[in-house]
Amino acid sequence: MGVNIMAMGSYLPEQSLTNDYFKRFVDTNDEWIRTRTGICSRHMAGWEPVWYMGKMAAQKAIEKAGINPDEIGLVIVSTITSDFLTPSVASVIQYELGISNASAFDLNAACSGFVYMLDAARRYLETDENLKYVLVVSSEALSRFIDYSDRGTCILFGDGASAAVISRSDKMYSSFLASDGSGARKLFARNMAVAPQVKQDNDFDDGFPEKPQHQLYQDGKEVYKFAVKALPKAFNAAAEKIGITSIDIDWFVPHQANVRIIETAAKNLGTGTDKFIVTLDHHGNTSSASIPLALCEAIEKGIIQRGQKLALVGFGAGLTYGSIILEY
Ligand code: UT7
């Protein structure tokens, strides 16, 4: 059983920041950021909470799907930057949009979150015949967890949300999900609620400079090396299950982290970058929101069309990775 992406909607914060903005905090320049990452600008949440961005995206998706919110039986939100430890962002969005007959929960698989969430939605649809529609939402505000004195990290991230209404379908579908916990300390942020004087287990930050409790640590080079291998590995594993190759795919929609990662992965897959949807130039890396933001934009621009075969490929903290191949 596959899934039908009935409709999508996105929300980007009002503020958009160019690369030059970061010259206020760190020794950097537009040329370095463009050539080393492909990023030119990114949106940054000001007053907008994560639940609000998710709600706005979800509202558009529900309107476009032309369904009644009461017909949605499950709301899943993928986020690593929730406004709350509890309740879930999903429960807040459920209430805000009057989705009164649904269960709701959040999912954290970092930048692979949308791929994990869509696959979870499909499994619920497959096993619960009373479930008609699932609302999946990715909403992230990475800007609130960034060290603005770390020039290798602060320039990468952006904020935003994107949502889709999903139903079951008989269209082509395959998925592959994985996690390599041995890489957990290569990309992490601590929970703010932990007492600052408590030395955390596992010496996660060994070898990293000291940072305030909740900020994001990353070994950029190691994450890069992981990403260029994980992207083709995840796609090939999902493709093998249904006997197809990269030639059969119309559009790859990868996690938007660094254009050099996408170029190298495309080479490793033996396909051109012209089959890859790239929006990181104006979105930056929005973690789990990056794939649906790119997908939604390409659909709205008429680049991705009904009947085409798509490969969504995510990778991120965990280190998680995964791919979904589906017909749009
Ligand atoms: O969702 C997953 C999240 N994480 C990622 O996707 C990160 C993946 N990694 C990357 O994208 C890249 O490794 C980075 C963009 C983070 C860094 O690019 P790089 O080509 O690996 O650069 P580097 O770390 O090797 O640094 C090269 C030089 C260094 O200077 P020195 O030591 O050679 O003098 C850095 O200090 O570039 C310097 N540098 C900068 N210079 C200007 C690092 N950041 C900047 C900057 N502006 N923003």
Q: What is the CATH number of the domain that holds 59?
A: 3.40.47.10
Same domain for 265 and 129?
A: no
Could you say which residues of the chain have pLDDT below 50? none
Same domain for 197 and 157?
A: no
Annotated catalytic residue within 43, 154, 255, 296: 255
Same domain for 106 and 140?
A: yes
Give the pLDDT score at 179: 98
3-state secondary structure of 125: helix
Cα–Cα–Cα angle for 323, 223, 140, nearest 5°? 65
pLDDT digit string, tens, across residues 78-128: 999 999 999 999 999 999 999 999 999 999 999 999 999 999 999 999 999
Give the pLDDT score at 273: 93
Same domain for 234 and 136?
A: no
Give the pLDDT score at 208: 73
Same domain for 162 and 250?
A: no
Give residue 69's domain range.
2-170
Same domain for 157 and 192?
A: no
Same domain for 152 and 192?
A: no
Give the pLDDT score at 206: 73
Same domain for 158 and 197?
A: no
Q: Is 23 in the pocket of ligand 1 (CB under 6 A)?
A: no
Same domain for 165 and 195?
A: no
Give the pLDDT score at 196: 58
Same domain for 104 and 237?
A: no
Q: Is 148 in the pocket of ligand 1 (CB under 6 A)?
A: no
Given the CA of residue 290, which atom of ligand 1 is nearest to it?
A: 1
Which residue among 150, 170, 190 closes a domain?
170
Q: Which of 18, 36, 37 to mutate to test the pocket of ligand 1 (most atoms within 8 A of CB)?
A: 36
Given the CA of residue 261, which atom of ligand 1 is nearest to it?
A: 11
Same domain for 187 and 284?
A: yes
Q: How many domains, the chain?
A: 2
Gap between the Cα atoms of 55 and 23, Å rounded = 33
Q: Is 285 a catalytic residue?
A: yes
Structure tokens at 84: 């709350």
Q: Which of 78, 111, 224, 256 to mutate to test the pocket of ligand 1 (most atoms within 8 A of CB)?
A: 224
Cα–Cα–Cα angle for 287, 131, 65, nearest 5°? 60
Give the pLDDT score at 201: 57
Helix (H) or strand (E) holding 11: strand 2-11
